[in-house]
Structure 1
């Protein structure tokens, strides 16, 4: 239904409902639902009570009609059994024939209970017994008309005042119970919704504080009972806290990345500006000085370009799914080792590779292996070996790169994969401190784990482990 076709009442109701808080709406919906159920139960109870009262009255009529038929079977046809002659005051009885109540019949003036065509049909035997409601002398009465022998019918009437009074009392009592139940449901519904939605209220307040302060350090406070309750609302609050923790960590990582990148870029950019200003006064320099400045400028440009490219790679948080394909990891490692041999002529590379196929992005896996090989060669003394081994086990695929350099100090081991982190031994060596961080990010994106440890006999050992249940599957987000 469009807005143009909605009635004014519907529009006002929609606007009113939209302005209500969720807690109030839940309490209102709960109260209305319980009220409808209560009204339905009370209505059903009223019908049952009325049916039972009428049934008891009909049963009493049937019993008394049986007694009257036995005691009055010798009475003359058409004789009125007095107004309450045989029964107590609220009852009347009379015997009729097929002609009773017709014009000129002598007993017509003595009739107390109205005689109809249906009554005469019962007397004639063409209709069975039936119950009816009549009014006699201003009193409501329940009547039973039943056949007697000899073309006669017995009419027995009992006042139904007690039934009507019982119905009124039952209706009043049930109405009071229904109203009390609706009010109680409203109160309990409000309390229940307030308690159940308390984490949602705190979640809303926390989200509003984060939106106002842009600080993801806020959390939804949950009581121990709410934490262990395990319902959907508590799990939502817990998930929101977990999400806030991840967001805070991500924001902190971004801030660290920006700060570290700014720090790392400051020195090469300053050198670039210095050499550019120097070349701007080239007429004052000798040819040798110009060549040195131009060479330094080119090297610094390459360093800055490499640093920027590394930062761009680190900013990626997932692998492009269309590029995922089966990769022969042993062949890829062989190619990377050959390239490393050409770059590090004074380092010996040995490879022992098993035939292994994994799903991944070849260029990214090659970048991971190249970073590990360059890192190992950088810390390897001239003439030492860098050992590369690829094995396929029952539960995992392991690729290890081991050097014979100074190794990793215990205090540096927890930080070797941090961005821009450089140990004391590495500060005098070329590099930006991003290679190992990038390698771990690529490993995580492919569902693998990259770890560092001290090798037996000296040196460092980096281990890339791909679980068997991950091998052959597309990469995931890092």
Structure 2
């Protein structure tokens, strides 16, 4: 409606419209002047009776434009509906007759045509206001009827993505019988298929990991028997080292699968205590790496203590693993709005910016360092655990080297 009004006003005020109006005025004024001069030369204009000539030529014609024409002596030779036009609403033009004498033409400034006036008047009428309100209400109801189920379906799919819990949309949504009902059915079908595929993948990881433990245990037992007869064998030590590495890998795979499958009860977690406990454990494994802890008072969240402990253990363990001997690992907690941020800063070699996102993928290691003692699952497990809390994992490269990892956790677990 606003656009229609704008088009009408711009059309009326355009240069093209004004030019057409003045062309029509000058064309009509020239015809009147030429007829006047012809009648004057033929004696058809009585002296002193210009009004009779004007009346005879005007009559009741509706195609005439209001104007007043004055000759070079100042005498009015034509006048039509200009009495009520105010001087500020007038403009002048010059035309020439057959005698080449100038005539001054006074006309009204361009005004909107009657159809434009009627439309603009409708825009200002009470009837239009009622129409506008009624159409706005109908549009609002129509939009609400479309947007509300779409928003619900969006929230439904996001809830599945965050919680990994399969639930069917309401029966009323599925029974709508329109395109939105079809969309709800398609989303429900997609969620079920996606959940089934993810569950199969997790079950496969879980089963394979369990199946690997039995031959691994037999291999360790065999190595122990051989070690009794030849305790200094380099090959036996290598077997033990490989078995320990495989056992650690299987345990991490089980931990990764467990985060996807298990939905523990939400508990209050004291973040500072968890950090202190993990720092104490790291002091045993990495005695040459000091951990400097700065805890924010009363840093508590509602979450899953075991999953959060795994995330802290993996991230702080990585920081200790890649820190030079004697260089401290800085561990701190702080509150920011409705979140608690756990920061872990090391002074090791750091990570390239383009590899930070890849580090969060399972089995990826920076620089593809396959010879390192890790498996590329630590940060993936940490990311899963933090996302289980509804939080985010951020990594930065400080300007003075090293790596800064931040775990942003909401204080209250989203339901």
Task: Determine which structure has more spread, i.e. the larger CA radius of gyration.
Answer: 1
After TM superposition, the score normalised by the length of structure 1 is 0.42
